[in-house]
Chain A
Amino acid sequence: MNGINAIKGNYPQNFCGANIAKRFAKMGEIGEGASIACDFLGKAIIVPAVIMSVSKEPKEKKEFSAFKNPVAAVIQLALEVPVLIGGSKVVEKLADKGYFDKENSAFTYNQKKMRESFVSLFKKLQPQKEEFIEKINKQGYSKHLAEDFHEFIKTVDPSVRKELGASFRKFENAYKNQFHLKNRLCFLTALILTPLLCGIENYIHPKIMNKVYKYEHDHEKIKTHSLFPSISKFALETKMKGAR
């Protein structure tokens, strides 16, 4: 019933209660870690589970196909993730050294330079707001920081507001430029890495599966060999007792 009510728009009180809404309001951005963990668990556990339960093929066939996913997930976690995380840090450092910028261009990827120039201007014009400077130096740019800044700037003198606002916009733009450049370069790296990862997966997966099947078949053979003599021995003994 609750489900029908929810579809119709009559949400039960505890579902749309203030607690959930407040939790969402306080929630920060979803980090890279959560996204990687979700991707890994999905590939390693959910996909094989879905294939094993949905496919109507013989067990060995669907097992062979399904277990390609956990192998791929482990390879991805061991190789792709560290390369992308490391690569992303390298791009960040290079961008902060001005490697991607052109001389005399207003468009910049150097968020460090823009942050430093904003901080020095802020210190000069608003020296009493030390906690904001500390926050920006420790955490860098974030949506919350931008909101705090825009709230604060409403309270200052219009001329200072204009100057600080322009400097903050430059810092914000440089941060966003660097962020999007980093993402696109990571995508290109991932695309370049894909043939290598698929090649490793193609080499490792059949080897693992063939070993698993060999072990299973050997295990079954041992079982049948050891079980049959004891059953036949038992049957023979009972027969002989009956004959006596």
Chain B
Amino acid sequence: MKIQKIVSDITNSNFVRNHIRKSSLNSKFLARTLLITSVSKDVFAYGLRVFNTLRNDSIPQDKKNYTAKMDAASGIATAISQIGAGFLVSSEKFQDFFSKKLFSKLKGKDLKNAKTAFGALSTLILASVFAKRIVTPYIACKMSGDKNKA
């Protein structure tokens, strides 16, 4: 019961309530919150990977430095590319431009549904696949390669 009281005190604090309310009412705020949480988790994970790699004796020395450099570069690149793609996809101009082109024949409820589906799909493809899985390793390779030459 004591734990439940602590938990409910936290979930009913002004900060949590306001955050939850804002997430429900403001889709832009929600999209950006999700983006920040995703980026912070990835940057934290890449930081840990660099730390672990440099302290792992079972990794051969020549590979250790390159792997750590790639992880550090991936951490920086993922933050840049995800924030860039996320802000682009969640911007009203981007959504309106493609919605007008793609759904010019739809009206009312159908148009609203199509816009929502397009928003979700474009976020998944642009931010989760293109930015995170193609742009990030591409930039990271270039960054770690340049460092090696220097």
Contact = CB atoms under 8 A, between A and B. Distances in A.
A68 B128 contact: no
Given A195-B48, A198-B45, A16 B137 contact: no
Contacts of B104: 16, 21
A202 B52 contact: yes
Question: Which of A24, A29, A190 counts the most B-chain CB atoms under 10 A from its CB?
Answer: A24
A47 to B, nearest CB: 5
Contact of A102 (B12, B34, B53, B141): B12
A143 interface: yes
Nearest to A199: B52
Main secondary structure of the interface of B (DSSP, over half): helix
Interface stretch (A36-44, A153-161, A235-243): A36-44
A180 interface: yes
B106 A21 contact: yes
Contact of B134 (A21, A46, A99, A107): A46
Contacts of A183: 34
Nearest to B51: A198
Interface in B56-83: 56, 58-59, 62-63, 66-67, 70-71
B12 A101 contact: yes
Interface residues of B, number: 63
Contacts of B116: 29, 143
Interface string B1-21: 000100111011000110110
Interface stretch (A48-56, A120-128, A129-137, A225-233): A48-56
Contacts of A143: 113, 116
B118 interface: yes
A225 B66 CA distance: 32
Given A24-B113, A38-B129, A51-B141, A198 B70 contact: no
Interface in B124-144: 124, 128-129, 132-134, 136-138, 140-142, 144
B66 A64 contact: yes
Contacts of A190: 41
Contact of B67 (A47, A65, A187, A194): A65
A187 B148 CA distance: 35
A34 interface: yes
A180 B129 contact: no
Contact of B145 (A26, A56, A177): A56
Interface of B: 4, 7-9, 11-12, 16-17, 19-20, 23-24, 30, 34, 37, 40-41, 44-45, 48-49, 52-53, 56, 58-59, 62-63, 66-67, 70-71, 101-106, 109-111, 113-114, 116-118, 120-121, 124, 128-129, 132-134, 136-138, 140-142, 144-145, 148
29 contacts: A21-B106, A21-B114, A22-B110, A25-B103, A25-B113, A34-B124, A42-B132, A47-B133, A47-B136, A50-B137, A51-B137, A54-B138, A56-B145, A57-B148, A60-B63, A61-B63, A65-B63, A68-B71, A101-B8, A176-B20, A180-B24, A187-B41, A190-B41, A194-B44, A198-B48, A198-B52, A201-B49, A201-B52, A206-B56
Q: Which 5 A-B pairs have the closest CB atoms?
A: A42-B133, A24-B114, A27-B117, A202-B52, A25-B110
Given A24-B114, A29-B120, A100-B12, 6 more contacts: A24-B117, A34-B124, A47-B137, A183-B34, A194-B41, A206-B58
